[in-house]
Amino acid sequence: MTGTALITGASSGIGLELAKLFARDGHDLVLVARRAERLEELGAELAQRHGIRYHAIALDLADADAPAEIVRRLDHAALGVDVLVNNAGFGAVGPFASADPDSAFRMIRVNVEALTRLTRLLLPRMLARRRGRILNVASTAGFVPGPLMSVYYATKAYVISFSEALAEELRGSGVSVTVLCPGPTRTEFQAVAQMETTRLFRMPGVMDAGDVARAGYRGLMRGKRMVVPGLLNRALPLVVRLSPRWMVTRVSRFLQEKVRR
């Protein structure tokens, strides 16, 4: 199935790599992110290389009205969406009590609210056509509590639970839901989240954004409900289930702590 793929957070990292894969296979693109110039550059490059069409929408998904505005622009351009990729998200490291409250609530709006609203707005249209695919980008962070990144980890737990439940609701409808759960990945994310000096990103096994995107894309096209790239990452849910919660939480905190130079 080709058609049009809408990708949030498309200007860098996993979202950018997914845009390349969809364009390679002939999908037209709706690219959503805050940075208009980057979206236009990416869209123009992929259009020239693969002969696809693109539409760039520069919006901040922390704005509660952004999902409705995206759909309004889609309708104005007479664009249907066959694949929805909810990739936009960000995190921040630090104790919750001293964290910037505005940043924490923006994180919830981007990582949870925007994803949910955009899915709710576009899903009925897919169901009416009896075809469509949804890819929600979560994280292995969603499998564990995350001291020093408590809000981010909790938002990703929501994305996993929501996606799995929705996939079951939609069984037999012609619309599939896949949740992608990457572990540590080299993108702009760690710089924004100030994670570059944490133990987590100093450990072996940090993946490349292109490899993560390819795993997610393959899983989406095969209709898989969950994709966890990387052998060590795939072992995490089992280890978590077999370990005491206090130990899981303690180890999680250890990995989030910054390495002293």
Tell me the residue range of the domain where 151 lies.
Answer: 4-256
> What are residue 177's phi and psi, to 5 degrees?
-125, 130
Mean pLDDT for 132-161 is: 96
Contact 151, 104 (CB under 8 A): yes
Asked if the structure places residue 261 within a domain, the reply is no
The confidence score (pLDDT) of residue 172 equals: 97
Out of 152, 153, 158, 217, the active site residue is: 152
Highest mean pLDDT (candidates 110-114, 198-202, 238-242) = 110-114
Nearest to 252 by CA among 148, 111, 138, 139: 148
54 catalytic per annotation: no
The token duo for 180 is 């992608």
The confidence score (pLDDT) of residue 201 equals: 57
Asked if the structure places residue 65 within a domain, the reply is yes
The token duo for 77 is 């351009």
Which CATH number fits the domain that encloses residue 52?
3.40.50.720
Contact 228, 216 (CB under 8 A): no
Residue 235 has pLDDT above 90, yes or no: no
- The count of structural domains within the chain is 1
- The mean predicted confidence, pLDDT, of the chain is 90
